Amino acid sequence: MGWERVMPFHGYDEDWKMYRRYANQGFNKKAAMKYHAGQTRDVHLFLQRLAANSENFVQEFNLLLGKIIMRITYGYVVTDANDPYVKSSDEAIESLGRVTMMGNYLVDSYPFLRHLPTWLPGMGFKTKAFEWSKLPLGMANIPFEWTKKQMAAGIAIPSFLSELLEQNVDGRRGEEIIKWTAASMYGGGAHTTVGILNNFILAMLLYPEVARKAREEIDKVVGTDRLPTVLDRPDLPYLECVILETLRWYPVTPLSIPRRVSQDDEYRGYRIPANSTVYNNVYAITRDESMFPDPEKFIPERFDERQKTCGPLSPRDIIFGIGRRVCPGQFIADTSIFLVMSGILATMDITKARDGNGDEIEPEILRGPALVCQLRPFKCSISPRSKNVTELINSAIMFDEQ
């Protein structure tokens, strides 16, 4: 399907070690700090759009994450939701979601079908597979070549890709691996982070007392004459609990990415043959009542260190992957999540939408089956909390541009 070159799906070999080295070089915790200013600016612009286009908050989340990831990775500035590079990447990721759902195609149950000719009835999956196999190539090649042209013209915005290409000492092989490492960033970070933010909106809608408590903390620490920044984060412990509970409540990758065992193994008396597919059952872990009592409820206080109501496991230890396969962009994603959540709580009211009779519309919680488990669209009302909010956001944007 063309995804074997993307880092999360690449086998463990010498090339994968280079993938990991490049990714760590560009996105480790210290390196990620240099992107904070750009992320903050993008979130302020997002809040401005959200105030005017709150009904399409999912679209605004998608645009925001596209802007952040494409600028950091390629130095490319996304201007609207119809950006061709973003749409190309989204199309590739959507095709991946279709093929990774077991049972979608008969060949999943009867592998011998892949050997039959395309012209036979029922072999349409082979044509689709051929077409979809081209999409990851476009996702990797198109923005990569754009950045190289910008570099050749001397007008490239500094980015993960431009910096690695300038430092590349591994020749053509290094360039190819750098290209696919960059492609992995959008593929692994955009839809998952959007899913987390959608879950946050739903949680604040269903648990208004949590939103109120988090806002009161922000107002006390930050005040109401500026927007929260990453420097405020250590002083916002309750908001940190809200973030952790959002990650746990409905994990966006409930089975994570399937892995293949490279050699025979044994775990607690259970034999695991080589080439077995194994899953990190994130959903089951986050529903373990010995660590998370009342797991279906949204209870940020379970992560309050002062109350000690939760076991030692942090959702971050499993949501972003495990071991060598942990998500290299986790620090970028974590900062984006904090800035968006704190910004929305500081500036917006989230309430239930109303129908034509003025009655509240209860949100219907439905999730689509896919590798990344997204909420189906639901109605809610997001509005500026006061008349001064628009002016506050505009002032923050003006300050960012100075």
Known binding-site residues for heme equal 327
User: Which is nearest to 342 in space by CA: 285, 295, 305, 396?
Assistant: 396
Binding site: residue ranges? 327
Name residues whose C-beta falls within 8 Å of residue 178's C-beta, 6 or more positions apart in sequence.
22, 161, 164, 165, 168
Class of residue 266 by CB neighbours under 10 A (exposed 0-12, middle 13-18, buried 19+):
exposed
3-state SS, residue 41: helix
Write the DSSP string, 177-201.
HHHHHHHHHHHHHHHHHHHHHHHHH
Supply 356's token pair.
Answer: 């034509």
Q: Exposure pattern of 14-25 as b/e (b: 16+ CB <10 Å)? A: ebeebbbebbee
Name residues whose C-beta falls within 8 Å of residue 362's C-beta, 6 or more positions apart in sequence.
352
User: Which is nearest to 188 in space by CA: 10, 31, 42?
Assistant: 10
Measure the CA angle with vertex 63, ends 61 and 283; round to 5°.
Answer: 40
Name residues whose C-beta falls within 8 Å of residue 61's C-beta, 6 or more positions apart in sequence.
194, 197, 198, 340
